[in-house]
Structure 1
C-alpha cells in the first residue's frame, strides 16, 4: 500500500510539473515574440536574427514594413470570402493614372478571371473609378525596386490564400485574359512556378548583372507570373531581397530573389518568347504595323504599348476577332442542323443560312446574272468592274487578303501539332475573287507554302496549293436607336444624326466653325450663261439665307467679248445691288486666261486666316456642301479636296431628251472625278506655306496637280472624299492646240472622258453596222 501511494504521489508531482512547465514556456515565448521578432514575413524593425547587411535605401525597411493603404478616392473594400483564379498587379506612376491606367482598365483588364489592381506611389489618386493602391513611402523615382517589392508584399499580405496565380506587369502591356487563363489551367499552381520570357541581359550587360552561367530572370515588361507556392516561399524574404540589390533592374532582382528562396529560375523555353511577346520590330512599339503578325496573334502578353489609344485599338481588334470566331461557330452549328434536317427530310429556317460553302452556289438564270471574277496578285487587281481594268491593290483589299490568308493558315494548321508537322505561308502567287450577291464572296488562291515535318527526320519542302474559299454573309440584322434631343440650330442646317456623328470633332474645334466665312474664288472668261446659273445657285444657298460667304470673281476681259464682259458685270451688279455690295467682288485681270493666276489674284484679296474655296463656274452646289467645306478644312492641319460628280454629255446618253437631276449619281449619267484636283478648300496661310499656285502655268489645267503635289510633300493632311453636294455640270471642252503638250494631252483625255460611260459607248459601237460589218464584203 505504501508503495502504491508513493507511486501515486510521484505521478501527481510529475503531471503538475509538466503543466507548470507548459504554462511557463507559453508565457516566455509570448513575451519573447513581442520583444524579439525573428526574421519572418512580418518585416518588423527588430528581430532575434542580427542584421549583417546594410539596406539599399534608408527608408526601405520602414516603408516595406508599414501597411499599404488604398487611397480614399479609390477605396476598394475587400470581401471576406473573396477567392479567384488570377491576381494581376500593375505597376504604374501618378502621371499615367488618367491615361495608360484608364486604357488598360477599360480594355484587357475586363478579360481577367480574377482581380486587377494598379499600384502607384504615395498620394496617388485618379478621377476615374479604378482600384488603385497607394504605396506608402514609395515615390515614382527610377529604378522602381521599392515599388516592385512593396507590391509583391501587398499581394502576399492580402491575397496569398485567395488566388492560385499572381502576375506582376507594367501599365504599357496588353494581356489576353482568356488565353492566359487557358495557359495557366494547364500548369500545376500548387508547385513553385515562375513564368515569363527568360532574359539574361543585353550584350553590354553580360557579366554585370551578377548572374551565373545558368541563371536568368523573367523580363518585367512582358509580365511575370508566380504560382501561389512561389509567392509563399518568396514572401518571408522580400525584406532581405530589397536590402541586397546588385543592379538597378527590378526584374533582375525579383528573379534573383525567386531563384534564391523558391529555388527555381524563370521558365527556360523558346515558346515563352512568343507567348510573352516583346515588340522589337517597331521602334516606338504600340503594334501599329505588326498587329496582324502570326506571333502577335498567338501571344498572351504584348509589350510595349506607350500610347493609350492603341490599347483601345488592339482591344477592338481582338474583340472583333473573337466575334468572328463566335459567328463562325454559330454558322457551323447552323450547317450541322441543316445537314441533320436533310437526313430527317425536314424543313428548317436555317436551311439557307446553313448551306455548305461553295464557290459555285449561285446559278444564274440569264447572261446578265453571270458573276465575273477579278484577277488579283500581290500588287494589282484586274477587274471588269472598273473603267480602268488594271488598278493598284488598295489598302482595304490588301487587309482583306491578309485576313483571308490568316484564317486559311489557321484551318490548315489546326491539327498540325498532333501530326508532327506545320505549314508556313510564303506568298499568294495570284488569285481570283468574286461576290455572290446572295451568299457571299468567293476566292480561289494559288498559294506558295513551306511544309515542315518535325517528327522523325526533319523535312522542309516548298509546296504550291490552290485554296477554294467561300465567306458566307451573316444573317441580316436590323437595329434601331432612339433619337435623342439635340439643340435646334436652324442656321447650321445639320440634322441630329450628323450632329451626333460630328460631336467629337466639334468639341475639339468650335461651333463657330459652322458659321465661318467661306471666300469663293471663281476664275471666269466668257461663259455668261454658266455664270448666270452659278450666281442663281449662289443666291439660293448663300445670299438669300445670309450665309457667311464672300465671292471673289476674277474676270479675264481679253478672253471675253465686250458684250460678254458687260453682261457679266451687269449680273454681278444686280446681286450687289440686291444684297450688300461688299459680298461680291469683281477683279478684272489682263492678259490671256490662266487659272493659276486667277486663283492667286483671288487669294491675295483675303487675309491669312481666311478660308478659301477654289471653284469653277460649272460646279453646281448644295448648302450641305458648305458645311463639309468648313468642317473638313482645318487650318495648319488639313486641306479638303472634294471628289465631285461629273455629268456626261446629255446629247449622247439620252439624245438631249432628258434632264439630269442633282441627285442622280448613277454610272449612266456621270462618274466621280477621282483624279480631279481643281476644286479645293484651304486656308490662305496654308496656301502660302507651300508656295501658292505656280502663276507661270498658262491656260487650262496642270496648275491644280502642281499645287496638290506641293501639299502632298508638306506636313499637311489631304482629305479626299466623295461630296454629293458638288456636281460638275456637263459643258463642251475645246482644247487649244497651242497648249503645252502635257496640258493638251490632259485636255484631250478630259474631253473624251465626259462623253459617256465606256459601257454605253461600247453599245453604241456595237450598233454601228458600218463598223462591225465593214469587212463582210471583202473577199479573201
Structure 2
C-alpha cells in the first residue's frame, strides 16, 4: 500500500527522468558523433581532413566550398591512434620534465689509467663545484678512483675511439638532459665559472659548435682541439648521434681530437668556430709551460688573462697554480667592481631627498630595521672575552664557548688589525673594555667594541670604539631528494608507570587525528615494566583502551603494543633506543613521541617531508605548556595547549622528539665506542656521525601539556639539560615575580601577627619555595 505523501515526494524524480530522456532524444541528432578520434577509421580521418570538414554527413554546396591553394605541400600519413580507455596517462614526476626544461652544462673529461689520480683529480677539484655535472671517461679501468669522481671505463683499449664511445654513452644516458655538452682532456685547465657564464648567455635555439679552433691543422682547419675544449649544443648533439655509426666505421686518423672533429663536421656540416651567438670562446695554448718562469710574462698578456681555457698542462701542480692565479685575478676584479659600485652609490646619494645622510653603513648593505613598536626593538647583548650577559629571557650570564667564543675572538682580532692599518701600525696590544652585539635579520651580526689600545712608542693607552658588521651571505639552496607525504610513519611511544594518565590522553589524540582520517601512521606502544613483581598491572587501563580502539572499524593494525622489562636504575639512553629500534626493518621511518603531547596531522606530514633516508634527520623544537596554576589567573584551566608566549614556550633544550630512518640510526650507532654508548644521547650520536643533515626548526604543531620534570628519576631520558629545563618549565619571569611578591606580602603579614618563633619557621621554609612550585 502506497501513501499519497510518498507518491507526491517521488513525483519530481519521475518528471526529471522523463525530461532527461526527452532532451537527449531531441538534441542527439545535432551532436558531433566524431568528436572522439579513437572511434574513426584511418580512411575516414583522411577523407575528413581532405574535405576540411569535421562532420561526416555534412553537405556543402560548390559555392560554399572554400578555395585553398596548396603549394609544394605533402599530405602527411594517416594518424595511428591507439584506443585504450582503461589506460591511465602517465605524467612525469617533475614539472621541469614535462615542460622539457633541461640542465645547463655537462662536462666530459677524457682521462686514462695513468693520469686519473693526478691530472683528472686536479680538474675535478678546480671545476666540479661550478658545472652542473662532470664525468670522467677512460679506455681502461683504474684500481683506485678518487672519491667523488664518477669514472666510466670502456672495454675498447684503442684510445683514439674514446671520444666516440663518450658520445655513444651520452646518447644512452644524457641525450636529452642538458642544453650544452663540453668535451675536454684532463690536461686542460678551464675557468668553469666563465664557461657557465658563456653558455648561459647563448640562445638554446642555435646550433652551437665552438671551442679552441686548431689553426695549425692544414687539411682540417675547421676542427676544434679537444685539449682546448669543445662545446656543442643539444641540437648539434642530436645530429651527431644520428650519424654516429658512420663515425665508428670511418675513423682512419690516429689522433682522437681529429676523429672527434671529423665526426662532428660530417654529421652537422658545421665548422668549429670560436663564436657562439655574439659570445666568444677564448683559449690560450702554452708551449713548454713552466709556471714559475712564465707567469711573470703571462700576467701582462691580455689574451691569457681573458682566456677560458689554458692547455696543455705539463703536470697537475701547474694546473693548481694556474687555478690559484685566476682565482686571485677574479678576486681583484671583484674588489674593483665593489669600489666602483660604492662610488656610484655615493654619487647618486646626493640626488636623494636626504642627501648623503641616506647612506647606510656599510655601503650597499640594507639599513637596520626600524622598529614600529617597542616589541620590535632588537636588543644588544653585552659580552666580555669570557662571558655573555642577558642573552635571553632566562639567563643572566653564561660563559662564551664553542663557535660563539671563536666568533668574538675573530671580531676582536679584525678590529685590532683595522686599528693598526688606520694608525700606521702604532699599537702593540689591546684589551676589550665593553662589547655589544645583536643579530639584525636584514643585515647580519653587528658589534660595538670599546678597545683599550697600547701604543708602542709612548706605552700609553688609547680608547677607541669600533662598529663592525658580519653581513649575511647569499642564501644557498641545498638540493634534497624527492619525498612524498604518503610514507608510513611509526610513532614510538614509551610509557612508564608514571605516564599512564598522559598515555591515555595520547591514545585519544591518535584516535581522533590519525585513525578517523585514515592517515598512514602506526602507533607503537612500549610498556616499560620494572624488574620487580607488581600486585596489579599498572597498565591495565592502557591495555583496555587499546583493545577498545582496535575493535572499531578501520583501526586494524593501527596500534601495536609490546611489554618490555628493564632495569631502570642502570639503563642508558642509547641502550634504551637499541631495544626499541631492534623491532623494525632498516627502511622504517620512526618518530619518537611523548605522552601528553597533542598530535596533529600537520606534524606527521612534516615528519615525512623533513626526514630523508641517508640525507637528513628531523629534531623539531617543541612547544611546552607552562604550569597551569602559575600561568593562568583563574580556573577552569583549558584542556588544550594555547600557543602563546604567556602560557608556554618553545624548548630548544629538548631533544626527545625526533624522527629518523632505522638504517641511518644503525649506521650512526656503529660509529660509537663502548664508552660513548654509556654517555652519549641520541643527538650526540648523530652529531658525531656527521654524515647526515640535522634539521632543527620550531614546530608549532608539536604542543605538549605541562610535565613535571624529575631529574633524579630511575630512568632519566631528559638529557644533560634536565635541571635547566626544569627551571624554565614553570612560568614566565613576570609570573614568577608576581608569585614571589604575593608570597612576600603574606610573609610580612605573618611577621606582624605571629611571634618571633613562628616568623623564624616561616623564613626557614622560604628557600624551599621553588621545590613547592614544581610539586604544585
TM-score by length of 1: 0.48
- TM-score, normalised via structure 2 length: 0.48
